[in-house]
Structure 1
């Protein structure tokens, strides 16, 4: 079961304690220059049970 949130979940404990927060980032959110991190503001947090 996957719960997609329409806002960025900054604290994993906002999910149920049995869930794991996994960032879902569109391809365009990844920066093409080092250190190759993703733009968190363009990502969603999902809670995977």
Structure 2
């Protein structure tokens, strides 16, 4: 493989890794938002 092919492969792997991190962060934020909503509801005496 040429150096350019190696670099392209590295870029692709990095992009996939970054996309995974992005997905994980979004899932964590959604999870945190759900927890916050539940806490708020219970503080307000909601029955959820």
TM-score w.r.t. structure 1 length?
0.18
Which has the bigger relative contact order, CA under 8 A and spacing at least 6?
Answer: 1
**Structure index of larger Rg:** 2
Normalized per residue, which structure has more helix? 2
Normalized per residue, which structure has more strand? 1
